[in-house]
Amino acid sequence: MFIFINGEKTELSLETLADVVNHYKLDEQLVVTEVDGEIIGCEDRPRTKLQEGMKIEIVQFVGGG
């Protein structure tokens, strides 16, 4: 299926938003996810099923000074 991740059209064979976070090897506690304009907390990612054309934004927090 095709979905948009951070504005880029991407083809993935995954089922949930949690799968997307894991696919990119991101620390689920250090990212914010938004699906079609709605923030999805880490506890809801496993229940958020991917759908064709879904727009996902992933922002990762990075420490530094």
Q: Which residues of the chain form beta strands (DSSP E)? A: 2-5, 8-11, 31-35, 38-40, 55-60
Alpha helices in the chain (DSSP H): 17-23
Which tokens sit at 14?
Answer: 């995954």
pLDDT, tens digit, 9 for 90 and up, residues 10-39: 999 999 999 999 999 999 999 999 999 999
For domain 2-60, is the CATH number 3.60.10.10? no
What single-letter amino acid sits at 52? E
The confidence score (pLDDT) of residue 44 equals 98
The confidence score (pLDDT) of residue 63 equals 76
What's the pTM?
0.91
Number of Cα atoms under 13 Å in the Cβ half of residue 14: 21
Q: Using DSSP bridges, classify how beta strands 38-40 and 8-11 pair: parallel, antiparallel or unpaired.
A: unpaired
The Cα–Cα gap between 63 and 51 comes to: 32
The confidence score (pLDDT) of residue 49 equals 98
Q: Does 65 score more than 80 pLDDT?
A: no
Domain ranges of the chain: 2-60
The confidence score (pLDDT) of residue 55 equals 99
